[in-house]
Chains A and B, each alone.
Chain A
Amino acid sequence: MAATERKLPAPAISPETEPYWQAASEGKLLVKRCQNCGETHHYPRSICPHCGSDRTEWTTASGVGTVYSYSVMRRAPVPYAVAYVTLAEGTTMFTNLVDCDLDRLSIGMKVRVVFKPTEGGPPLPCFTPA
Chain B
Amino acid sequence: MSIKGKAYIAGIYEHPTRLARDLSLSQIHAEVAAGTLADAGLTIKDVDGYFCAGDAPGLGPMSMVDYLGLKVRHVDSTDVGGSSYVLHVGHAAEAIAAGKCRVALITLAGRPRAEGMATGTVPRSRGGTPTPDEPFEFPYGPTVVNMYAMCAMRHMHEFGTTSEQLAWIKVAASHHAQHNPHALLRDVVTVEDVVNSPVIADPLRRLDCCVITDGGGAIVVVAPEIAAKLKRPKVRLIGAGEAIKGQMGGKVDLTYSGARYSGPAAFAEAGVTPADIKYVSIYDSFTITVLMQLEDLGFAEKGKGGRLVADGNLISGVGKLPFNTDGGGLCSNHPGNRGGLTKVLEAVRQLRGEAHPAVQVKNCDLALAHGTGGSLGLRHGSATVILERE
Contacts and interface: CB of A to CB of B under 8 A. Distances in A.
Given A96-B141, A124-B140, A74 B247 contact: no
B134 interface: yes
B135 A82 contact: no
A41 B140 contact: no
Contacts of B140: 8, 82, 94-96, 124, 126
B122 to A, nearest CB: 8
Chain B interface bracket (under 10, 10 to 19, 20 to 34, 35 or more): 35 or more
Nearest to B254: A69
A123 to B, nearest CB: 10
B153 A82 contact: no
Contacts of B251: 50, 91-92
B151 interface: yes
Nearest to A48: B249
Contact of B252 (A45, A48, A84): A84
A70 B150 contact: yes
Given A17-B135, A107-B153, A74 B202 contact: yes
B145 interface: yes
Given A45-B132, A84-B254, A8 B139 contact: yes
A42 B136 contact: yes
B130 A73 contact: no
Contact of A71 (B135, B139, B202, B249): B202
B361 interface: no
A49 interface: yes
Given A69-B157, A74-B202, A95-B140, A82 B150 contact: yes
B150 A50 contact: no
B141 A71 contact: no
Nearest to B246: A49
B32 to A, nearest CB: 32
B72 interface: no
B240 to A, nearest CB: 27
Contacts, number: 120
Given A75-B121, A76-B121, A82-B146, A92 B247 contact: yes
A68 interface: yes
B250 interface: yes
Contacts of A72: 201-202
A80 B132 contact: no
Nearest to B130: A12
A18 B29 CA distance: 43
Contacts of B216: none
Interface string B318-333: 0000000000000000
Contacts of A9: 125, 138-139
B141 A93 contact: no
A126 B142 CA distance: 14
A66 interface: no
A22 to B, nearest CB: 13
A50 B251 CA distance: 10
Closest 6 CB pairs of A and B: A91-B250, A49-B249, A11-B135, A71-B149, A43-B136, A42-B250
23 contacts: A6-B141, A9-B138, A9-B139, A10-B139, A13-B135, A17-B135, A43-B135, A49-B249, A70-B150, A71-B146, A71-B201, A73-B145, A73-B200, A73-B201, A74-B199, A75-B121, A75-B145, A75-B201, A91-B251, A92-B250, A92-B252, A107-B153, A124-B139
Interface of A: 6, 8-14, 16-17, 39-43, 45, 48-50, 68-76, 80, 82-84, 86, 90-96, 107, 118, 121, 124, 126
